[in-house]
Structure formats: structure tokens, C-alpha cells
Amino acid sequence: MKIVASLALVVPMALGCEPPSTTTTFVVLENDYPAGSGLVIYQAFWQAVSFQTPIAPGSSSDPQNTVPASANTAYVVLAPGWDPSSNTTPTTFIVLQSREGYGVHVSHTVDIPVSDATFAGDCAAGSFLTQSQADFVTERVFSGIFDRFKYDAATCTTTSIGEAGAR
């Protein structure tokens, strides 16, 4: 019996593999905006990981499984002033893009801190995305959110397509 258990550990290593428990790689998103700021992370995306659960200011996401990656851009949609415990869907958003890429090695965790220091796009902080960058984020990364809205990067305002007309 001991031989079989030992082989279960030795064979994967002999084949160049590590046991699954030591190769788990994670990503954690940290909302580094101060508690009380009202800047709720509504959704985010990095690498192949989509964060669908809102993250209140001063909080972090649960660790999400990911694969090792080199420096990749992270994208965030803030819902300023929105209460995640309400039954309403937010209608005001701020689109952010990380200022640098984030990477992670096998069996490590990458922490992605979301703040005005690490992400561009918060007009109130004097940080702007180009309209082209914002269009990429709203039309490609978060198209499900922005299928009913048009986003203006110069003012960080969201307009219902019904008000703005079709794209």
C-alpha cells in the first residue's frame, strides 16, 4: 500500500509534472479605492479571467484560478455610487485600463490593485483613456454591459443608447 502511494507522488515528478496542489495559479483583484469612496468594481477582466462579482472599495475578490501569463493588461468597469446589495443594475460607469501589464508564474498568485495610481481612465482623477481605448474596452471586453450604453472617454459619462442613438 505504501508503495502505491509513493508511486502516485513519484511518477508525476519523474514525468516532469508536479502534483496539482502545487501548481495552482491564482489572480486576486483588489479594490484599493478607500472605503466610502463609492467606487465599486462592477466587473473586471484580466488574461482569461472574468470577475463578475462586484468588489466594494477596500475589499478584494476571492482568488480565481488562472494560467501562468506574462504581462497582460487588466480592464475594470467601476460603478460609482452603486450599491451592490440593491436590486437595480448600475447605469453610470467608469472604464479603466491598467497602466502596466500583470503577469504570474506557475503556483503563484498575482494581486492586481485597482486605484488611480495603477489604472488610467478616471476623469475625476485627471486620468483619461483615448476614445479608441475606451471603445475597445466597451465594445470588446465588456460588450454585455455596454450593449445599451455609449461611453464618452473625455468626460467619463455613460449615455443610454436610446438617448444617444444607435452606434
Residue 167: the pLDDT is 44
**Domain assignment present for 89:** yes
Tell whether the model's pLDDT for residue 7 goes beyond 80. no
**Domain assignment present for 132:** yes
Count of Cβ atoms closer than 10 Å to residue 88 Cβ: 7
At 57 the three-state DSSP class reads coil
Tell me how far the alpha carbon of residue 65 is from its chain's centroid. 13
**Length, in residues, of the chain:** 167
Split at pLDDT 50, 70, 90, the class of 16 is low
**Domain assignment present for 47:** yes
Per-residue pLDDT tens for 37-94? Answer: 999 999 999 999 999 999 999 999 999 999 999 999 999 999 999 999 999 999 999 9
**Domain assignment present for 158:** yes
Looking at the structure of the chain, the number of domains it has is 1
Q: How far apart are the first and last CA of the chain?
A: 67
**Domain assignment present for 18:** no
Domain of residue 91, residue span: 24-164
Q: Where are the beta strands (DSSP E) in the chain?
A: 25-31, 39-46, 49-51, 64-66, 69-72, 74-80, 94-98, 102-104, 109-114, 119-120, 149-152, 157-160
**Domain assignment present for 3:** no
